[in-house]
Amino acid sequence: MVNQTTVLAVTDDVVLPVSSVLTVMKVVGKEGVERCDPMIITQASTISQVPLDSSSVDSVLAISTTSEFPTDIIYAEFSRILRPGGSVFVCTSSNGETVELQQTLERRVTLAGFMEPQSLDLKSIKLPNFSLSIGIKAKKPSWKIGSSFALKKPAKTLLKVNLDDDLDLIDEDSLLTEEDLKKPQLPAVSGCETTKKACKNCVCGRAEIEEKAVKLGLTEDQIKNPQSSCGSNPPLTMASKPAAESVQCFGRKKTAVAVTHCKRGCGQIKLNGCPIELFNPEILRFKIFEPVLLLGKHRFAGVDMRIRVNGGGNTSQVYAIRQSIAKALVAFYQKYVDEQSKKEVKDILIRYDRTLLVADPRRCEPKKFGGRGARSRFQKSYR
């Protein structure tokens, strides 16, 4: 018996025919559409909970007439009812701002916890009341909430030098002949060739050459008005160079400290010398990408960021990294772009999470001298 695919269709419109749902699912490339009987919920913008069990649906199709639907609450319900590895499709109509709406959908789907967002070419699917032109496909992670795994540290290996005793070693002395070992004999010199000046009875012509030589010396004018060979021009080392447009900001969380050096570039972000896209585990990588997802990749396209982090644990380092990235971009926009763009970036970050720009000073109280902990002290009574 072939397992039937479970599909849930959600829309904020009043009516959504089954034929329209099957047509959209075929266009987006969902397999097994012919064998499914989709469940449809209309006017979903007025509900706060989907009446289905957790991990009971294979695919979710959201068809919206406006960009405000689905809301964050509906996205959370999608994540609850989808099985691990299930797919979610979000389709809507555009009013001309196709690229900006596409980026907004990708950012909202990623922040909802879904992976691998991809754009879909719907080719203007016509529905009874409106037409669809923009679509996003994403996947729910295969792991469940609360799952954990051990991080394996790479084993340190020493450099191994393989010595092969079978190699034929060549005697270096055999490469030289007896003639090469003989010291060269200099020709015998005579006359005034070895002296500083020509001798009295010079016959080699050196005395005549020394008489014709012009004696070099400073004139009285050169002594009173000294001047360098290059005149009044400044030396090349003093030439003005354009200052590099760069800023440096810190991020802190508990005992973890991250330093971000931001300068003009082509959008590269490296963490401890490696691209930030290779950071593991994947769950914590989404937390680091929050400033990029909130502000959009176009704001990071003109800068390069080099991040160094040390101290603390994995989670503390992640919070320190995201804070240093956000603070570095705000500082760069304030110094080298304009005040209006800096205020816009800062407002977006503050609205989402204040700790992206303001460090949290809270941490465990350290142990004090003279006691076993932060507060306890040794008690001594004289009786």
Q: Alpha-carbon distance 380 to 206, whole Å?
A: 103
Give the strand pairing for 274-275 and 269-271: antiparallel
DSSP secondary structure code for residue 87 in this structure? E
Element (H, E) at 211: helix 206-212
The span from the CA of 262 to the CA of 257, in Å, is: 16
Beta partners for 274?
271
pLDDT tens digits for range 86-132 = 889 888 887 777 888 888 888 988 888 888 888 887 776 777 777 77
Q: Cis peptide leading into 366, omega within 30 of 0?
A: no
The SS3 of residue 277 is: helix
Q: How many angstroms separate the CA atoms of 357 and 323, rounded?
A: 6
DSSP bridge partners of 137 = 89, 118
How confident is the model over 7-53, as pLDDT tens digits?
888 888 888 888 888 888 887 777 666 667 788 888 888 888 888 88
Structural domains in the chain? Answer: 7-139 (3.40.50.150), 246-356 (3.30.230.10)
CB atoms within 10 A of CB 265: 16
Cα–Cα distance measured from residue 91 to residue 93, given in angstroms and rounded to the nearest whole number: 7
pLDDT averaged over every residue in the chain: 81
Rounded to two decimals, the pTM is 0.40
- What ranges in 228-358 are assigned the alpha helix state H? 282-288, 290-295, 314-332, 339-352
Q: What is the C-alpha separation between 62 and 188, in angstroms, rounded?
A: 103
Q: Please state, in angstroms and rounded to a whole number, the distance separating the CA atoms of residues 73 and 77.
A: 6
- Residues 154-193 pLDDT 10s: 777 665 555 555 545 556 666 667 776 677 676 665 566 6
